[in-house]
C-alpha cells in the first residue's frame, strides 16, 4: 500500500539537534575522538539526592496508577515555593501552575490552546525550534524577528510591523537567551509587557531552562513584571542535570494555564508521579545549582582564552552554558564549524537554529554555538586542540 505522510511532516525541516547527533555519530564511526559541544545535553550526573528521591518516589508510588494530568498538588506547591523563594513571585498552585513533561512538550503544545488557522506567532531568530514547529503544527504562521548584537540580543518589538501585531496572538521570549547568553533587563521586560498589552498579544516566556545558570547578575522573571496575558515555562533539565527525567512546569495567567491544561489532558497522561518526587527535591535545593554555576564558570575560563587566541571575536554572555561565537569577517558559521570538525570538535552552525527574518537575512549565519556540556577534561583537551590548529588564518 501507499503511505502518504502529512504535509506538516513531509515538508518539515529536520530537527536541528538530530542533525548534530548524526554528525557526531559519523565522526565516531570513523574513529575520531569527538568533543561534542553541539547539543545542550549536560554530561554531569544528576545530583545523588535527586536520584535517591526518585528511588524513594518509585517505592512510594508502586500502585499509584496514572499520574495527574496537571501534576500532584504537592508538586505544584513545590513549583510555587520555588518561584516565591527565587523571585518573590506568588502564584496559586491550584490555578496558576501546571506540571509539564519538561519544557519542550509544553512549548510545542501551547499554541494548540491559542491559535486558529492563519494566526501569527512572533518567534526569535535564532531560537528554540519548537517555537516555530509548535506554531506550524497548530496551524499558525511564525513571524521571525532577529536577535542582534547591536540590540544586546533583545527583541526589538518596536520594529515589528503593525500589520503583524494585529494578526499576532503570541510572542515567544527566551531570557536568559539560548544561544547568546543575554539577560533581559527589567526596563526591557516592562516595555515588553506594555507593548503586549497594547496589542493584545500573549507573552510566552521560555525563561526557566537557564534562569538559574547565570554569571554576572541574577535574571529577572517576567512574572515579577506582569501576570495578565503571561505564561512562563520552566524545566529542571539544565538547572539540575535532569534532561532524561522530563520534569518541568508552567506558571502565570490562570486562563492560559487552564488552556494548556486542557490541551495536555487530551494529549498526554502527565509527568510520572515518582519523577515528581525527584523534581520536588531538586526544586527545593539551590546548593547543587551553585555548584553547577561554578562548574560552567570554570569551563568558560578554559575555553574563552583559547577562542581568543585562535583569533575569534569575544563571545562571553551573561548566563546559560552557551557561547554564541561569531566567525571572523568573511567566514560563515558553517565554515567555522567545519574547521572545528577537522580537529574533532563539534559545534552547532548558527544557521541551523536560526530562520530568515523579514529583510531576507538569517541572523545566525555568521555564528556557531558552543554548549559547554563536555566535562572539564574534555574542555581542556578542546582548548589544546585549538592551540595546535590555526582555525582562521
pLDDT at 131: 98
Q: Which among 284, 301, 323 is the end of a domain?
A: 284
Confidence grade of residue 166 (pLDDT, cut at 50, 70, 90): very high
Residues 39 and 165 in one domain: no
Q: Which of 60-64, 92-96, 110-114, 366-370 has the lowest mean pLDDT?
A: 60-64
Residues 89 and 186 in one domain: yes
Residues 275 and 297 in one domain: no
pLDDT in tens, 44-60: 999 999 999 999 999 99
Domain assignment of residue 1, yes or no: no
Residues 91 and 207 in one domain: yes
Residues 117 and 60 in one domain: yes
Q: Is the pLDDT of residue 120 over 60?
A: yes
For residues 218-244, give the mean pLDDT. 97
For residues 182-195, give the mean pLDDT. 98
All 3 cell numbers of residue 45?
Answer: 550526573
Q: Which among 231, 250, 284 is the end of a domain?
A: 284
Domain assignment of residue 393, yes or no: no
For residues 254-264, give the mean pLDDT. 97
Report which DSSP code applies to 138: T
Residues 277 and 297 in one domain: no
Confidence grade of residue 114 (pLDDT, cut at 50, 70, 90): very high
Domain assignment of residue 60, yes or no: yes
Instruction: Round to whole Å and give the CA distance between 181 and 175.
Output: 8
Domain assignment of residue 90, yes or no: yes
Instruction: Round to whole Å and give the CA distance between 80 and 283.
Output: 10
Residues 140 and 16 in one domain: no
For residues 145 and 157, is the Cβ–Cβ distance under 8 A? yes
For residues 382 and 306, is the Cβ–Cβ distance under 8 A? yes
Q: Is the pLDDT of residue 129 over 70?
A: yes
Domain assignment of residue 197, yes or no: yes
Domain assignment of residue 140, yes or no: yes
Torsion on CA atoms 167, 203, 360, 356, rounded to nearest 10: -120
pLDDT at 316: 92
Mean pLDDT score across all residues of the chain = 93
CA dist 246 to 36, 95, 280, Å?
A: 22, 22, 13
pLDDT at 19: 62
Which residue range forms the structural domain that includes residue 99?
48-284
Is 158 exposed, middle or buried (CB count within 10 Å of its CB: 0-12, 13-18, 19+)? exposed
Q: Is the pLDDT of residue 183 over 70?
A: yes
Residues 187 and 329 in one domain: no
Q: Is the pLDDT of residue 12 over 70?
A: no
Residues 25 and 119 in one domain: no
Domain assignment of residue 2, yes or no: no
For residues 124-149, give the mean pLDDT. 97
All 3 cell numbers of residue 154?
Answer: 533583545
Residues 120 and 182 in one domain: yes
pLDDT in tens, 297-336: 999 999 999 999 999 999 999 999 999 999 999 999 999 9
Q: Is the pLDDT of residue 13 over 70?
A: no
For residues 146 and 357, is the Cβ–Cβ distance under 8 A? yes
Q: Which of 9-13, 58-62, 278-282, 335-339 has the lowest mean pLDDT?
A: 9-13
Q: Is the pLDDT of residue 389 over 90?
A: no
- Name every residue whose Cβ is closer than 8 Å to that of residue 329 and which is 6 or more positions away in sequence: none
Residues 217 and 360 in one domain: no
Domain assignment of residue 36, yes or no: yes
Residues 41 and 52 in one domain: no
Q: Is the pLDDT of residue 390 over 80?
A: no
All 3 cell numbers of residue 102?
Answer: 519538561
pLDDT at 300: 97
Rg of the chain over all Cα atoms, to the nearest angstrom: 21
Q: Is the pLDDT of residue 3 over 60?
A: yes
Q: Is the pLDDT of residue 15 over 70?
A: no
CATH of the domain at 266: 3.40.640.10
pLDDT at 64: 76
Separation of CA 171 from chain center: 15
pLDDT in tens, 269-294: 899 999 999 999 999 999 999 999 99
Q: Is the pLDDT of residue 4 over 80?
A: yes
* Number of domains making up the chain: 2
Q: Which among 284, 303, 321 is the end of a domain?
A: 284
For residues 303 and 379, is the Cβ–Cβ distance under 8 A? yes
Confidence grade of residue 8 (pLDDT, cut at 50, 70, 90): confident
Confidence grade of residue 20 (pLDDT, cut at 50, 70, 90): low
Amino acid at each position: 500500500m501507499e503511505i502518504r505522510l502529512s504535509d506538516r511532516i513531509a515538508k518539515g525541516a529536520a530537527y536541528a539537534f538530530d542533525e548534530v547527533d548524526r554528525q557526531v555519530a559519523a565522526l565516531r564511526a570513523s574513529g575520531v575522538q569527538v568533543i561534542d559541544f553541539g547539543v545542550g545535553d549536560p554530561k554531569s550526573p544528576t545530583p545523588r539526592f535527586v536520584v535517591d528521591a526518585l528511588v524513594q518516589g518509585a517505592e512510594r508510588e508502586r500502585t499509584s496508577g496514572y499520574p495527574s494530568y496537571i501534576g500532584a498538588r504537592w508538586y505544584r506547591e513545590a513549583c510555587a515555593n520555588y518561584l516565591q523563594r527565587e523571585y518573590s513571585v506568588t502564584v496559586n498552585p491550584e490555578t496558576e501552575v501546571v506540571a509539564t513533561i519538561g519544557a519542550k512538550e509544553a512549548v510545542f503544545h501551547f499554541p494548540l490552546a491559542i491559535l486558529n488557522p492563519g494566526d501569527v506567532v512572533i518567534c526569535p531568530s535564532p531560537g528554540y525550534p519548537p517555537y516555530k514547529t509548535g506554531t506550524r503544527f497548530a496551524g499558525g504562521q511564525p513571524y521571525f524577528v532577529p536577535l542582534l548584537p547591536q540590540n544586546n540580543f533583545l527583541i526589538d518589538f518596536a520594529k515589528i510591523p503593525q500589520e503583524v501585531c494585529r494578526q499576532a496572538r503570541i510572542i515567544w521570549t527566551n531570557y536568559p537567551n539560548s544561544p547568546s547568553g543575554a539577560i533581559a533587563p527589567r526596563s526591557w521586560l516592562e516595555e515588553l509587557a506594555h507593548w503586549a498589552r497594547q496589542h493584545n498579544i500573549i507573552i510566552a516566556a521560555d525563561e526557566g531552562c537557564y534562569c538559574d545558570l547565570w554569571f554576572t547578575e541574577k535574571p529577572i522573571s517576567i512574572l515579577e513584571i506582569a501576570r495578565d496575558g503571561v505564561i512562563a515555562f520552566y524545566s529542571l533539565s539544565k538547572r539540575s542535570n535532569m534532561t532524561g527525567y522530563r520534569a518541568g512546569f508552567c506558571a502565570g495567567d490562570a486562563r492560559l494555564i487552564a488552556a494548556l491544561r486542557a490541551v495536555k489532558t487530551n494529549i498526554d497522561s502527565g509527568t510520572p508521579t515518582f519523577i515528581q518526587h525527584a523534581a520536588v527535591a531538586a526544586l527545593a535545593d539551590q546548593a547543587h545549582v551553585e555548584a553547577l554555576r561554578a562548574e560552567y564558570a570554570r569551563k568558560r575560563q578554559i575555553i574563552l582564552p583559547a577562542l581568543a587566541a585562535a583569533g575569534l571575536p569575544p563571545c562571553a554572555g551573561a548566563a546559560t552554558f552557551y557561547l554564541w561565537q561569531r566567525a571572523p569577517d568573511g567566514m560563515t558559521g558553517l565554515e567555522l564549524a567545519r574547521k572545528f570538525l577537522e580537529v574533532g570538535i563539534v559545534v552547532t552552525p548558527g544557521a541551523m537554529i536560526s530562520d530568515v527574518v523579514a529583510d531576507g537575512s538569517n541572523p545566525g549565519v555568521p555564528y556557531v554555538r558552543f554548549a559547554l556540556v563536555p566535562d572539564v577534561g574534555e574542555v581542556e583537551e578542546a582548548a589544546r586542540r585549538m592551540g595546535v590548529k590555526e582555525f582562521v588564518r
